[in-house]
Structure 1
Amino acid sequence: METSTEGAAAGCGSDVAPATGPVRDEYPAGADSTAATAGADEAVPPADDTAGAPEAVPPAGAPVRPVIPPTSLSPSRAGDFMQCPLLYRFRVIDRLPEKPSAAATKGTLVHAVLERLFDAPAAERTAPRAKSLIPGQWDRLRESRPEVGELFADDPEGERLATWLGEAEQLVERWFGLEDPTRLEPAERELFVEAELDSGLRLRGIIDRVDVAPTGEVRIVDYKTGKAPRPEYAEGALFQMKFYALVVWRLKKVVPRRLQLVYLGSGDVLTYDPVVADLERVERKLLALWEAIRVATESGDWRPRPTKLCGWCDHQAHCPEFGGTPPPYPLPVRAGESDGGTQGRMGPD
């Protein structure tokens, strides 16, 4: 594997606490991307139950919808299971509510601004214009997701909000030192993609930006509002991008020429040029992961996997590692389906 951290050219050519909340890479086509809250910088709950993002607690007296086993996989949900099978259960099966995160919401806001900036003619895509979009996009986000207003409920003077919006401005401005939007004409923005593999596994996700060169080469771009990972963790960071590349390959029969992660928190760009063997390897990994999810779903055996990331988890009150008790398992359990504790052992590619 060859990776590089570099300033991005136009055309085709972690030290941050994980955010909690539903994931932007799961909303269906036609949904409003600005309603997303992020998983590092991503998120919106999908419209259909089978996609498996967490939801808010229904109001008292509201009808309870039946629990449906997961039928699709997104990069964030795959990451949840690899991090901790019990976390996957809490988010996908139980759909436990999670508090909005300031970091995740900031990521959503910045994504919305960078998406909307391309509505303007190329010559008008300037840093001042981009920053001027922030107040309006913040208002729009609060309208679509009223719960994010809780982040600043104890800030009557608006001082913390002003600081937070200023940080969003800095992230947006930093992007202009990494890419030149006056030289870019994205083929797609906030593109929902979904593909079904021969095995029947349905993969879905949302790609921040797709660039297509005049020669037909495809570049997939993802914005991250955190810092670039250390080199030893670069492969894990690229998992999401390879997932997207696999979906595009299966849909379009074209292997993307380049995968590009733009880290606004540190001003770095991580690039990778995939080949067919990479995508085949990712597909095998996802199939093994999906089989482990199937076994856990049918057996009800969702084991916690303690790591230092537990400190940021919203579900400690329900986790046995913290003395909690998970909610009653809402799906039928099939005896004898346990795989002996292999769930969640999928490592990096």
Structure 2
Amino acid sequence: MTTPPGPVQAEPEAARPTSLSPSRASDFMQCPLLYRFRVIDRLPEKPSEAATRGTLVHAVLERLFDHPAAERTAPRAKALIPGQWDRLLESKPELSELFAEDDGGERLARWLGEAESLVERWFTLEDPTRLEPVEREFFVEAELESGLRLRGIIDRVDVAPTGEVRIVDYKTGKAPRAEYADGALFQMKFYALVVWRLRQVLPRRLQLVYLGSGDVLTYDPVMGDLERVERKLLALWEAIREATDSGEWRPRPTKLCGWCDHRAVCPEFGGTPPVYPLPVVRRDGAEGAPGGAAAERPAGE
């Protein structure tokens, strides 16, 4: 007896971008073509050990605050790692590919040990027994007067007894050099802008906790910062809209290209992008068919 085939998993339909997050804004600033591959084409990307370790550590630090203050110790936090790893595998089975060829389990054990070290280092930077976050893994979304929707997930929000707000983000990598600090703070200023738009509260402090190097970067924003970020985001969004209409997404080669999953379809590496899946809007406002001439032009020309 022939077993009927299971349902075919449909590819997600391409759609025009409707909102902006810190990650996607950074993608476009890094390389417009990368933004297209991730947001418009939704090309799959292989999971990485570093990114998955970051997700695991974030989950552990979030769950630790479920426990009473006195129980928020390093041993308790490290004990949460195996369970959180199992939860990650359950929600994203594809992560098992990371250690598919690790027959002896040595790479997985080493990787989990690295996660333990990052979690343990956090206790040298902050004292969770003295913290009572108001929000953890806090999804925020706000619409600007222009209609642009901003959205993101804040790792932690602390509120002092006096009402002052602190936004905290955990990074499992190393702190950037001083000349790159502004780029690192862009995400935090983005969040501060969204909180301001949502609650009319200017966060007192933005704090980046770098577990990879044991550094804490803090910044106290002023209204001028948020106004500049808003202007930057509006200009960025206008550029994204123009690229969406024209189908012209230019690659921007940098040293980061070496870590990109999409080199095989990138013109900078001899590849050809997929046919553009959205209608191309000509300068006169008329729409062309998906993958029109403007879309097929090599993005690097």
> What secondary structure is seen at the aligned counterpart in 2 of 1:189?
strand
Choose which of 277, 281, 295 in structure 2 pairs with 1:330.
Answer: 277
In the superposition, the TM-score normalised over structure 2's length comes to 0.92
What is the Cα deviation at residue 185 of structure 1? Answer: 0.2
Q: What CA distance in whole angstroms lies between the structure 2 residues aligned with 1:320 and 1:151?
A: 28
What is the Cα deviation at residue 334 of structure 1? Answer: 1.4
Q: What CA distance in whole angstroms lies between the structure 2 residues aligned with 1:155 and 1:178?
A: 33
Q: Where does residue 28 of structure 1 map in the other structure?
A: none
Q: What CA distance in whole angstroms lies between the structure 1 residues aligned with 2:176 and 2:226?
A: 22
Q: Where does residue 273 of structure 1 map in the other structure?
A: 220
Structure 2, gaps ≥5 residues long = 1-5, 285-293
> Quick one: which amino acid aligns to residue 150 of structure 1?
E
* CA deviation map 1:127-157 (0-9, x unaligned): 0000000000000000000011100000011
Task: Indicate the percent of aligned positions where both proteins have the same amino acid.
Answer: 83
Q: What CA distance in whole angstroms lies between the structure 2 residues aligned with 1:106 and 1:118?
A: 19
Q: What CA distance in whole angstroms lies between the structure 2 residues aligned with 1:155 and 1:122?
A: 38
Q: Where does residue 120 of structure 2 map in the other structure?
A: 173
2:143 matches 1:185: no
Q: Where do 4+ consecutive residues of structure 1 move more than 4 Å? A: none
2:29 matches 1:82: yes
Q: Where does residue 228 of structure 1 map in the other structure?
A: 175
Choose which of 144, 159, 167 in structure 2 pairs with 1:212.
Answer: 159
Matches within 5 A, 1:105-184: 105-184=52-131
> Quick one: which amino acid aligns to residue 167 of structure 1?
E
> Quick one: which amino acid aligns to residue 315 of structure 1?
H
Q: What CA distance in whole angstroms lies between the structure 1 residues aligned with 2:11 and 2:66?
A: 40
Q: Where does residue 287 of structure 2 map in the other structure?
A: none
* CA deviation map 1:142-193 (0-9, x unaligned): 0000011100000011000000000000000000000000000000000000
Q: What CA distance in whole angstroms lies between the structure 2 residues aligned with 1:147 and 1:222?
A: 26
* CA deviation map 1:196-238 (0-9, x unaligned): 0000000000000000000000000000000000000000000
Q: What CA distance in whole angstroms lies between the structure 1 residues aligned with 2:183 and 2:10?
A: 40
Q: What CA distance in whole angstroms lies between the structure 2 residues aligned with 1:200 and 1:335?
A: 23
Higher helix share: 2
Q: What CA distance in whole angstroms lies between the structure 2 residues aligned with 1:199 and 1:119?
A: 39
Choose which of 172, 176, 199 in structure 1 pairs with 2:146.
Answer: 199
> Quick one: which amino acid aligns to residue 157 of structure 2?
V
> What secondary structure is seen at the aligned counterpart in 1 of 2:125?
coil
Q: Where does residue 23 of structure 1 map in the other structure?
A: none
Q: Quick one: structure 1 residues 65 and 111, their matched pair in 2 at CA, closer, same or farther if it must change by over 3 Å? A: closer
Structure 1, gaps ≥5 residues long = 1-58, 344-349
2:244 matches 1:306: no
Q: Where does residue 42 of structure 2 map in the other structure?
A: 95
2:185 matches 1:238: yes
- RMSD in angstroms over aligned alpha carbons? 1.3
Q: Quick one: structure 1 residues 63 and 155, their matched pair in 2 at CA, closer, same or farther if it must change by over 3 Å? A: closer
What is the Cα deviation at residue 61 of structure 1? Answer: 3.1
Q: What CA distance in whole angstroms lies between the structure 1 residues aligned with 2:169 and 2:197?
A: 19
Q: Where does residue 259 of structure 1 map in the other structure?
A: 206
Q: What CA distance in whole angstroms lies between the structure 2 residues aligned with 1:327 and 1:303?
A: 14
What is the Cα deviation at residue 63 of structure 1? Answer: 3.5
